[in-house]
Structure 1
Amino acid sequence: MDIVIVSQYLRDIECFESNNSRFVYIAKLLAMSKNNNVEIITSDFNHTKKEKFNKIGKLDGVKITACHEPGYSKNVCLKRFNSHKKLSKNIKEYLEKRKKPDIIYCAIPSLAVGKIVAQYAEKNGVRFVIDIQDLWPEAFKMVFKIPLLSNAIFYPMKRQANYIYKCADDIIAVSDTYRDRATSVNKKYKNKLTVFLGTNLEYFDKCKEKNIKHYNDNIIRIAYIGTLGHSYNIKTIIDALELLKEKYNNLNFLVMGSGPLKNQFEAYAKDKNINCEFTGRLEYPEMVGTLCSCDIAVNPITHGAAQSIINKVGDYAAAGLPVINTQENLEYRNLVEKYNIGYNCENSNKQDIANKIEILIKDKKLRKELGNNNRKLAEEKFDRKKTYNQIVKIIEGN
């Protein structure tokens, strides 16, 4: 079977050894069968570092094709959408030159690429499987918080998204929320499936073993990992810690990640005189070791954000940390309660967040109990060795 995977955001394509991308992992699984010819089509632009990749690494059994993308300097800007449009044109030209594949497995977003691939599949009678990683334009509405105006601005993107969803023969997503958004407009799909992003727990544990830091002090380390952007309310956590700092002088807020609001968050923490360390973006093994050295994890999603089951909550689970959660999405809030992995808080309520953090500060035994529950969640719902074979079965038509 000739299988094409289209994934614009593939993390580091210069070295696949430590690449934790969902689509790299699935490509490896598909390539294990001698009956499969697997190719990944991606971009030559590094979305994380906002620069062009210097080279294309090798992935055993998988062909890597990097189509040119001009690039952009910010996550939310017109230049980004123009860049996506030019990339989609280059992917279209490449698909029309290569032999027609049996199936295309396509990451959504971006929408520009997704639409071009959907059109190609429909025109050429190619089976089209989508895997929804985020909801566009819903995610961008966090930046433009003027309801009627943002609805008008993003209506063309909504039409694009609906078209892609309608074209899909099978629908896969990283959460029920995203899956149900697609099935609401698609009445022809054969299979629908939710598989959390998850991680390779075996690899995660090896990274932990090699990189974990052991401290002999009484510091309570509170961790955040991920993008420092409009969807994440780091300021609320800083505000909560400000309420606690007079009573507890042993708190350290460790923020791992980068993004457009990093400088703003750093200045805010300094202004509030909070013991806060911004590490920048860490390579995955180092991030795992640092995360596993912490005591509490926070998931401070902004009010009204579209995010559902996101990368960081899988890593928090794998690390076995109790979670302070402000995310309003019911899918994750229900997991927090069902598995008893931490506390759901009222969004943007610094006092409620401070109260829940204080409970964990005062009770080491409880931190351990909730953390163990979170690790159990990881083993049941986030371990790719157990969950990703479901995706392979759909792609291979089994």
Structure 2
Amino acid sequence: MKKILIIDHFSQPPNEPGNNRFIYLAKLLCEKNYEIEIVTTDFSHKNKKTRDKYIPGIEKLSYKYTMLPEPGYTKNVCIKRFYSHYIFGKNLAKYLTTITKPDLVYIAIPSLDVGRIARKYCKKNGIPFFVDIQDLWPEAFKLVLNIRIISDVIFFPLIIAENRIFEAADEIIAVSDTYLKRGLKNNLKNNGLVVYLGTDLKEFDNTYNNSHVIKKDDEIWLVYVGTLGHSYNIKIVIDAISKLVLSGFNNIKFKVLGDGPLLEEFKNYSKLKKVDVDFLGRKDYKEMITYLANADIAVNPISKGAAQSIINKHSDYAASGLPVVSTQENYEYRNLIDNYTCGFNCNVEDTAQVAEAIKKLVLDENLRNKMKIGSRKMAEELFDRNSSNARIINLIESYLETE
């Protein structure tokens, strides 16, 4: 039986809320009789604490799930985080010397420390090396630490490390065309593969269709799902709702599902603006679907200069058939919204435009319904893991069958 090693630094363990691509891939590959091991950290990036390594029922999983030590950190961008990742990389390197050599290594980027260690390991042992780009580092950090010249100097070593990882990859998979193009700048060996993160629509629909009603008939719900950090401008949505409330729109409720370093700042801002925002925290995936099933409009308030392209919330919004009000600058998602007629693209810092888009959707139920059709169509064509992840499986098998 051939073995595939999946290394995902920011994995979501099977007992934590989420919709992790690599766990889904592991299950699919096990069904095809491959031996699968997922290697990750024992530190939860989301909760900023060390996990309990014993997961109830872990022995019954079809794949092996291994957590390696990492010291941890308290902030998303800090020196301690870089040190923590470095130590995790050292522990990963040690662990790789103790296992039977796999037939293929499939890694998630970030982190770059995983990429650095895995690149060297695969080169030394002649193992096919697959890189799945989930985010761009250090590009994403520059939004938080964007000091001209100084930032370029600080992040230059990380750019070099990123380039080397992409150059060494036998295959590059990416969650968006934007990220794939970045990877292929340093890799001329293959054409790469874009596979959006997506969701299992069959499972999603089962939960969605059985969701109970938790919204009052006279309310219009705006919903945001995701991290509450520097990349997401929740304040522009609050400002937009504040404008609408002053115009007499008193039935708009803003539901925010997620957590992050700016949670308290956003809470205080909503109180300052006297806007009804319900900060619900991070929810189990099925409970999140229930909120999406009750919502009328989704918001995608990406901050100016953010590196995000196609992300998890896009597929969840589409699967729910929600019209989207977006401030994202990235051309790829803007084109999807236009092509599927499923929402409004607003200028990145234009509160008035965001307010006008929300107003149009609140007032026009027919428009909401039309955009819902386009949104769901996008999910079925682009975000269904049942079909999209088969392309990754086929690519993996094309390497293993020739050995």
Please give the TM-score of this superposition, normalised by the length of structure 2: 0.95
Question: Which whole-Å deviations, capped at 9, do the CAs of 1:213-261 have from their partners, x for residues lacking one?
Answer: 2534211110001000000011111111111102201111111100000
Distance 1:22 1:191 in 2: 21
Structure 1 residue matching 2:231: 3-state secondary structure: coil
Contact 1:212 1:288 (C-alpha < 8 Å) held by counterparts: no
Contact 1:11 1:48 (C-alpha < 8 Å) held by counterparts: no
Q: Which runs of 5+ in 1 are unaligned?
A: none
Does residue 1:371 correspond to 2:372, yes or no?
Answer: yes
| 1:59 to 1:173, Cα distance in 2 relative to 1, 3 A | farther
Structure 1 residue matching 2:236: 3-state secondary structure: helix
What amino acid sits opposite 1:392 in the alignment? I
| 1:59 to 1:154, Cα distance in 2 relative to 1, 3 A | farther
Question: Which whole-Å deviations, capped at 9, do the CAs of 1:7-26 have from their partners, x for residues lacking one?
Answer: 1111134x27x652100000
Question: Which whole-Å deviations, capped at 9, do the CAs of 1:245-284 have from their partners, x for residues lacking one?
Answer: 0220111111110000000001001100001110111111
Distance 1:59 1:6 in 2: 20
Q: CA deviation at 1:210?
A: 4.0
Structure 1 residue aligned with 2:24: 25
Structure 2 residue matching 1:66: 3-state secondary structure: strand
The alignment's C-alpha RMSD in Å is 1.3
Contact 2:321 2:374 (C-alpha < 8 Å) held by counterparts: yes
Q: CA deviation at 1:179?
A: 0.5
Question: Which whole-Å deviations, capped at 9, do the CAs of 1:132-167 have from their partners, x for residues lacking one?
Answer: 000000101010122321111111111111111011
Distance 1:297 1:179 in 2: 27
Structure 1 residue aligned with 2:236: 236
Distance 2:95 2:139 in 1: 30
| 1:262 to 1:93, Cα distance in 2 relative to 1, 3 A | same
Does residue 1:292 correspond to 2:306, yes or no?
Answer: no
Contact 2:321 2:372 (C-alpha < 8 Å) held by counterparts: yes
What amino acid sits opposite 2:43 in the alignment? F
Please give the TM-score of this superposition, normalised by the length of structure 1: 0.96
Q: CA deviation at 1:369?
A: 1.3
What amino acid sits opposite 1:374 in the alignment? S
Structure 2 residue aligned with 1:51: 49
What amino acid sits opposite 2:123 in the alignment? E
Q: CA deviation at 1:61?
A: 2.2
Distance 1:12 1:125 in 2: 29
What amino acid sits opposite 2:26 in the alignment? A
Question: Which whole-Å deviations, capped at 9, do the CAs of 1:284-323 have from their partners, x for residues lacking one?
Answer: 1111101221100000000111100011111000111000
Answer with 39-48 or 221-230: which moved more: 39-48
Within-5 A mapping of 1:271-290: 271-290=272-291
Q: CA deviation at 1:65?
A: 1.4
* Identical residues among aligned pairs (%): 47
What amino acid sits opposite 1:29 in the alignment? L
| 1:60 to 1:191, Cα distance in 2 relative to 1, 3 A | farther
Q: Which runs of 5+ in 2 are unaligned?
A: none
Answer with 329-338 or 113-122: which moved more: 113-122
Structure 1 residue matching 2:353: 3-state secondary structure: helix
Provide runs of 4+ in structure 1 moved above 6 Å.
none
Distance 1:45 1:59 in 2: 22
Q: CA deviation at 1:125?
A: 0.8
Task: Give the number of equivalent residue pairs.
Answer: 394
Distance 2:12 2:258 in 1: 14
